[in-house]
Amino acid sequence: MRLVQFFYLRDRSRLSHPIALTPLLSYRRQPIRTAIAAVMVSLFGGALTPLPVQAQTAPYCQQSLAAIDQKEMLRQVATTGNKDAQKRYASLIKQHGERLQACRKQSWPQKQAIWLRLYPCDIKSGALEAVLDRIVNRGYTQVNVEAFYNGKVLLPATDNPTPWSSVLAGSRAENTDLLADIIRKGHYRGLKVYAWLFGMNFGASYVRRPDKQQTLARNGLGQTSLTANTIAGLSVELGAVNPDEAFVDPYSLQARQDYLQMVQAIVKRRPDGVLFDYVRYPRGYGAASVASKIQDLWVYGEASQQTLLQRALNYRGMELIQRFLGQGFITGDDLKDLNLLYPNEREPLWQGLNPARITTPLPIGRRVALLQSDLWQLSVAHATQGVLDFVNAAVAPVQRQGIPAGAVFFSDGNLSVGRNGFDSRLQPWDRFPSSLEWHPMAYATCGSANCVMAQIRRVLNAAPPGTQVKPVLAGIWQQSVSNRPPLEVQMQALQRTAPQIRSISHFAYSWQEPGSDNDRKFCQP
């Protein structure tokens, strides 16, 4: 046993990315662990005597280093087929899960989740177990697994009814149901496992298909999210952004049908919840981050335009909407044309318009200004309604199965800017159903937790009573990164700001465990 302890001490001296008072073993030390396991099997003939498990003493219900060492040792030996190790490992997993649940009941927050991406290499024996053990070790009670992202879906290639390729396609793991596996193995450890899905961001591979190009969201400049100068969202890779973003028209019937088919396939795996991300439009760069004119809005897709025209209540209204879309404005001549084209109608009408405000006796210049202002408000409302309709359609099959659903959003995605402008994402999260879990991404960067807390307070102030608000924090334990303070600093600030919050999450596993993520991403399954 002294030999084993000697290796453990050497291993500790090379730890990377420690977390608050509990340094976790680096994934890159696996060869040493394997050597230890082999020595133990040869010395004890498979009869393993585990080290005594120490109680959890670290903040946020993280496992003690001794407990982590013991579990990892047993996992390594268990993968060799040693029956005794497998039995003891299973017992220790259950013990750690029970301790974690007991700790969380007495600690703040009661629920703590982490966001995770899986790779084909995770089919390897013991790979998922190693990841989930690390998640439990860090005190997390839930894992949000990316099940649809960047135009790929986490379904077996042989059981994938969607138009998106499988994350596992082209690998020897393509027939493995990795989502079902992590749900089962997560539950075994007492973890909740949520499926995390991109929303209106369908991925470039989807929209480049000849039969799907009509689903693309378009603005009035003839651009799509593939050609416009947009800002991509955060990636699970630290310091990177999500590649291949491609947003669809939320009014596209084809896009909705394809998406619902995918959601239904995910729900069949019975995750503990489903979270919908990217329920918004692209964010423009620089001046394009503000939508202040009709051409800035992503309402020029075929389905969106047709639906907007259908919001007219008479032919005069439809004609003016059509001209506003095409020209970006209306003129006095346009109003005069209405008298010639539709002499039997008095005023242009559309949804939300108060005709009493637009009366014939007004000077024509004043009438043009009022109608143009109302057309702009109609167009903005139409764009945001598309997001709401998409969300409501997406969550329906989830909630019908009694599975919790949640929306992931930016607290500033619904802001008005200046007199007539709006954040280009047009994310009307304040109108999301209160039956959903609200997961605001508090990703502000100002070198302190103050701006992060300001974003969370804004959501709490807007949330209807009873809404489950579960903030998402980005960062790393004990390290500042990308002008963000360490996670424990953000956590302490959040507890002071909103002690009533019971559930939070951290983005992302790969930020905290870069060695584990890289090894799993680039290995050969």
C-alpha span between 221 and 299 (Å, rounded): 11
Q: DSSP of 327-368, one letter per residue? A: HSS--HHHHHHHHHH-TT--S--BTT--GGGS-TTS-HHHHH
Q: What is the pLDDT of residue 4?
A: 28
User: Which tokens in the block code for residue 415?
Assistant: 């802001």
Closest CA to 129 of 172, 175, 169, 92: 92
Per-residue confidence (pLDDT) for residue 238, from 0 to 100: 74
Is residue 312 helix, strand or coil? Answer: strand
User: How confident is the model at residue 15, as a pLDDT?
Assistant: 28
pLDDT in the model for residue 244 = 82
For tokens 């992302």, the residue is 508
258, burial (CB in 10 Å: exposed 0-12, middle 13-18, buried 19+): buried
Cβ proximity of 126 and 75 under 8 Å: yes
Positive or negative CA dihedral for 58, 143, 131, 205? negative
pLDDT at 525: 63
Q: Is 3 exposed, middle or buried (0-12, 13-18, 19+ CB in 10 A)?
A: exposed
Instruction: Give the C-alpha separation, 280 to 427, whole Å.
Output: 5
Give the C-alpha separation, 157 to 390, whole Å. 26
Q: What is the pLDDT of residues 218-237, one digit of tens each?
A: 999 999 999 988 888 877 77
CA-based nearest residue to 132, from 99, 106, 166, 96: 96
How many CA within 13 A on the CB side of residue 235?
14
Please tell me the distance from the alpha carbon of residue 393 to that of residue 85, in angstroms, as a whole number. 48
- Report the pLDDT value the prediction gives residue 241, as an integer from 0 to 100: 67
Residues in the chain: 525
For residues 313 and 295, give the distance between their C-alpha atoms in angstroms, rounded to a whole number. 23
Task: Give the end-to-end CA distance of the chain in Å, rounded to a whole number.
Answer: 33
pLDDT given for residue 33 in this prediction: 46
Q: Kindly list the distances between the CA atom of residue 502 and the CA atoms of 95, 106, 509, in Å, as whole numbers in the listed order.
A: 24, 12, 21
Per DSSP bridges, beta strands 283-284 and 230-231 are antiparallel
Q: How is the beta sheet containing 290-291 ordered, strand by strand?
A: 290-291, 421-423, 416-417
278 touches 315 (CB < 8 A): no
DSSP H helices, 225-314, are 253-267, 302-309
Beta strand pairing call for 230-231 and 165-166: unpaired
Q: Using CA atoms, how far apart are residues 363 and 357, in angstroms rounded to an integer? A: 13
Rounded Cα gap, residues 241 and 299, in angstroms: 25
DSSP code of residue 303: H
**Secondary structure of residue 436 in the 3-state scheme:** coil
Q: Is residue 328 exposed (0-12), middle (13-18) or buried (19+ Cβ within 10 Å)?
A: middle
Separation between Cα atoms, residue 248 and residue 392, nearest integer Å? 16
Burial class (CB in 10 A: 0-12, 13-18, 19+), 52: exposed
List, in sequence order, every residue forming a beta bridge with 194; answer none if it has no partner: 144, 273
Cis peptide before 109 (omega within 30 of 0): yes
Q: What is the pLDDT along the chain (525 residues), one digit of tens a residue?
A: 322 222 222 233 222 333 333 333 333 344 444 444 444 443 333 333 333 444 444 678 999 999 999 999 999 999 999 999 999 999 999 999 999 999 999 999 999 999 999 999 999 999 999 999 999 999 999 999 999 999 999 999 999 999 999 999 988 889 999 999 999 999 999 999 999 999 999 999 999 999 999 999 999 999 999 998 888 887 777 766 677 899 999 999 999 999 999 999 999 999 999 999 999 999 988 999 999 999 999 999 999 999 999 999 999 999 999 999 999 999 999 999 999 999 999 899 999 998 877 766 789 999 999 999 999 999 999 999 999 999 999 999 999 999 999 999 999 999 999 988 999 999 999 999 999 999 999 999 999 999 999 999 999 999 999 999 999 999 999 999 999 999 999 999 999 999 999 999 999 999 999 999 999 998 876
98, burial (CB in 10 Å: exposed 0-12, middle 13-18, buried 19+) = exposed
